[in-house]
Chains A and B, each alone.
Chain A
């Protein structure tokens, strides 16, 4: 799986949009971008994933640049409960049919939502 680079920490005011960047300049054509988050002392939580088109679900939006070398996770209206470590991961396409490599978690971005 390709490596990712994320800022170690970010602050965001409650109610504002939180924009978390991720650099994955060595991503391969068959690798998806996944985002997970981990709230203190809990298991990681899946947020969203995408290949090259922008994606949106009830939790967040994912914007992937045209060259796919970077992406941004957007939490549109951050709340205090969004304070967590956010992990950006790239991995092979879900339907590759191959063995399931484990998720490679880096250090992530510690997002702190300020009241």
Chain B
């Protein structure tokens, strides 16, 4: 069974731009969650989608948004990038959400 796939693996963007990251969950998994990891704040929950609906959201500004498609693939978008948005963005999938989560390798975003 293929694992969680995140694309791209690395990305460099300029302050003020926007970025879209993609996540393909494990086949059959309907829940996709997104996390941000930085050296200072550690791993922080962004949001969770289940069956195309956002069920829960962490404490991040509205510049961070996401969506989920009917095939469970998910994208997250960050608009008006700031230097502090430089981080490893991780996606995790699980069958229903409140079960063990399987993480992808992450997308390393650098904002310059």
Q: Could you say which of B43, B48, B50 contacts A105, with CB atoms under 8 Å apart?
A: B43
> Closest CB-CB distance, A31 to chain B, in whole Å?
11
A54 in the interface (beta carbon within 8 A): no
Q: Tell whether A103 pairs with B56 under 8 Å between CB atoms, given A34-B100, A42-B105, A43-B103.
A: no
A99 with B100: CB separation less than 8 A: no
Bound-complex Cα distance A34 to B101 (A)? 10
Number of B residues, CB within 8 Å of A? 29
B104 in the interface (beta carbon within 8 A): yes
B42 with A102: CB separation less than 8 A: no
A101: chain B residues within 8 A (beta carbon)? 45, 48, 56, 98
Bound-complex Cα distance A95 to B98 (A)? 7
A26 in the interface (beta carbon within 8 A): no
Q: Tell whether A100 pairs with B98 under 8 Å between CB atoms, given A42-B105, A43-B104.
A: yes
Q: Tell whether A102 pairs with B35 under 8 Å between CB atoms, given A44-B90, A94-B96.
A: yes
B105 with A99: CB separation less than 8 A: no
A100: chain B residues within 8 A (beta carbon)? 31, 33, 48, 50, 55-56, 94, 96-98
A112 in the interface (beta carbon within 8 A): no
Bound-complex Cα distance A104 to B43 (A)? 8
Bound-complex Cα distance A98 to B96 (A)? 10
- The list of the 6 closest CB pairs from A to B, nearest first, reads A102-B45, A100-B97, A43-B103, A105-B43, A99-B55, A46-B100
Additional 7 contacts, C-beta under 8 A, given A100-B50, A103-B45:
A42-B105, A43-B90, A43-B103, A43-B104, A95-B98, A101-B45, A103-B35
